Structure 1
Amino acid sequence: MSETQTDFPIYSTMTLIDVVPNLKASQSFLLDGFFKRELLSTTAEVAIDIDVGKRRMAPFCSPLHEGKLVETRAIQTKTFKPPYIKDKRIPDMHKPVMRAIGEQIGGNQMTPRQRYDANIALEIKDQLDMLQRRQEWMAAQCLVNGYLVIKGNGFPETIINFNRSSELNIVLSGTDMWDDPNSTANPTKEIRDLVIRTLNVSGAQVTDLIFTKSAYDAFIKHQDVQQIFLNSAIRNNNDANVHLGPQAAAGAMMMGYWGTYRVWMYNDWYVDDDNVERPMIPDGLVIGVSEDELRGIRAYGVIMDGNVGYQSVAYVPKMWVPDDPALLHIMLQSAPLVFPARIDASFVVHVAQGYENG
């Protein structure tokens, strides 16, 4: 008995949300490592309180004098309006009656209904992967630039500036570059100076050093760096223990430890609005970040859709069929904003020429 149109249901938003946890989402190193906290807003804006207190000391005072009035720690409230995402698609209506990719030819075939459900899950997974990649891009832009540039359909170009100190945005040039043939650089001293500068500016202790390929290559080839690794090996300790051989992996690969710092090499890409593939982090950079003190946040504004009840959630999938043309529509809505509450708990330094596409 053949299946009819009524055998292909239009699932409710709640049913689709229940399906999502069973789908494998793409891994995102920057999001998972440094932007762990989730903030759900009941409005189109998100607000965060930031402690901007200074390194004050308790005042001396004679027991015979009136106590000195001390102001309470300063708290600064920042408000941001997350950009909105609407990923709408019309799946191929022929797929329910076609053999799926990899499906056995003849025998043990999926029914049209099973294929219909599988195709819906596949579309939603792709939507979630794209949303995840967009948030990873936001995280990368925050760490690289200290600000976000948002633009899109009906959304005028907007700069969301987190105001990282200029002391923590460094661009080397000439023989100061680590990969210059006549380099006079001292990578270990420069990294150490930036770590101390970060501590001075923000009070944050850097825990992770994220290298791009060219920066890492220049780092491990430098004479003073190799001497440190050699001395560590001779002393048989783990003060400096990183991989020196050629390696690569999608996302981030842990290359070892240097003192108390975790050392990573990051490789990830995205396709921009002009259909050009670009690196998430431009090649030639080193980023230092404090895992806890950055206080990275994944914030989500309310879903501006009355049909799903203006929900305060990270994303909402929905599906429907209009009367004419009667084609299935699937849409994922979200209002994400990835940002650091303490941008000065990170630094970025341009140390090598690098390659345009990483």
Structure 2
Amino acid sequence: MAFENLTRHLGKAVETRAIKPSFFAAFFLAQDVHNQELVEFDTKSFGAGIAPFVNPLKDGKPVEIEGYDNNILKLPTIKPSKILTSGDLSKKPFGKTVYDATSKNAQARELMTDAIDDNGDRIDVRLEVMRIDASFNGSLTIVGEGEDRVVNFGRDAANTVDLGAGFYWDDTSPDIDGDMRDFIKIVAGNGYSATHIVGRSESIAPLIAEVKTETDFRRVENGGLKFQSMLDVNGAIYEGTYLNIEIWSYDGVYKDAAGATQKAVPEKKVVVMSAVSENEMSYGYAGDVVLELDMALDYSVDASNNTISKVIPNRSTVEVESVLTGAPLLKGRNSTLVATVLK
């Protein structure tokens, strides 16, 4: 959540909540919900072929059907939970006064609802970090309790570029224009049109300083940008357009499991992306989750992505747990190109 605050005066309290939008979600738009953990998807990569000329009295020369890769992915399960103690449940909820006539049961229910909302925010952050992982690395690293695996989407080696010593953008005489044109050609060679380039501000800064960009903020006001609302995201800045590619610096952060603040986007790298691709978010569910619901005090289901939240009572605490099984699929595996541009 971007922020939550409350203003209170005599007789009235006004709460303000704002959900922080996801930046890379714009490239994984399709949302399929499946009824299982295993998802099978096929990928097919080929250039634009051309039909031959043939005399009408001659037979055409047949070509072999293009092959494809079959992929089976076990969707990872994301499961944040919060513990509410009896002391927490006896406290007044956020924004309430000591004079509010709220029963203890209603008060506890409100605290549990807030915990579910917080779990949802943490799930959103995890999904965004997964989308960044897929975009920059062409793979997903899934490490956690009972999980330690890497899902490789098979992006071509040519789509991972290291400019090398003497050619980095922070070297003395870089050829940034030439690099940008090469990036466009590589993505185009895979059948995609490069539309966006994203990186940390220090990675984008040499590009902005070297080339002449177009900055027409009327496109923002009129919704002409893919990320027209992304100026609301902390650290996301539209830097302009070059060679018809939108340039975005992104310094968004998140807190890891240890509570340490981490940069969401890798250092020294930029990713060139296509806004039109087959990439999608795929959701499912773990079979044991539904069976556990009967043991829960209460539960709710978010139909948009199959998130299930449940309340598990114990003697002195209540555990509020949310479960989502899903992942971003880089089905257009070569729709992204990542380049190391700083030394």
TM score, norm. by length of structure 2:
0.79
Match of 2:248 among 258, 261, 264: 264
Tell me how many residue pairs correspond in the alignment: 304
Structure in which a larger fraction of residues adopt strand: 2
Distance 1:179 1:186 in 2: 11
2:208 aligned residue: 220
2:165 aligned residue: 174
Larger Rg: 1
Confirm or deny that 1:196 pairs with 2:190: no
Distance 1:282 1:133 in 2: 16
How far is the alpha carbon of 1:264 from its aligned partner? 1.1
1:87 aligned residue: 80
How far is the alpha carbon of 1:251 from its aligned partner? 4.9
- In the TM superposition, what are the counterparts of 1:219-298 in structure 2 within 5 Å? 219-222=207-210, 225=211, 228-229=212-213, 250-293=234-277, 295-298=278-281
Secondary structure in 2 matching 1:281: coil
Q: Is the 8 A contact 1:87 1:127 kept in 2?
A: yes
Distance 1:138 1:130 in 2: 12
Confirm or deny that 1:300 pairs with 2:283: yes
* CA deviation map 1:181-240 (0-9, x unaligned): xx220212211111111101x110011111311112222233xx2xx35xx79xxxx9xx
How far is the alpha carbon of 1:134 from its aligned partner? 0.7
* CA deviation map 1:285-313 (0-9, x unaligned): 221100112x221112323222449x995
- In the TM superposition, what are the counterparts of 1:24-173 in structure 2 within 5 Å? 25-31=19-25, 33-104=26-97, 106-108=98-100, 110-155=102-147, 157-173=148-164
Shift in CA distance, 316/251, structure 1 to aligned 2, threshold 3 Å = farther
Distance 1:166 1:208 in 2: 20
Structure in which a larger fraction of residues adopt helix: 1
Shift in CA distance, 275/328, structure 1 to aligned 2, threshold 3 Å = closer
Distance 2:165 2:63 in 1: 49
- In the TM superposition, what are the counterparts of 1:332-343 in structure 2 within 5 Å? 332-343=322-333
Q: Is the 8 A contact 2:196 2:248 kept in 1?
A: yes
Q: Is the 8 A contact 2:20 2:233 kept in 1?
A: no
Shift in CA distance, 255/54, structure 1 to aligned 2, threshold 3 Å = closer
Secondary structure in 2 matching 1:176: coil
What percentage of aligned pairs have identical amino acids? 20
Q: Is the 8 A contact 2:46 2:191 kept in 1?
A: no
CA RMSD of aligned residues (A): 2.9
When structure 1 is superposed on structure 2, of 66-75 and 162-171 the one drifting more is: 66-75
1:208 aligned residue: 196
Structure 2 unaligned regions, length at least 5 = 1-16, 220-230, 295-300
The letter for the 1-side match of 2:154 is N
Match of 2:321 among 331, 336, 348: 331
Secondary structure in 2 matching 1:287: strand
The letter for the 2-side match of 1:166 is A
Q: Is the 8 A contact 2:240 2:246 kept in 1?
A: yes
Q: Is the 8 A contact 2:138 2:155 kept in 1?
A: yes
2:173 aligned residue: 184
Secondary structure in 2 matching 1:352: coil
The letter for the 2-side match of 1:184 is S
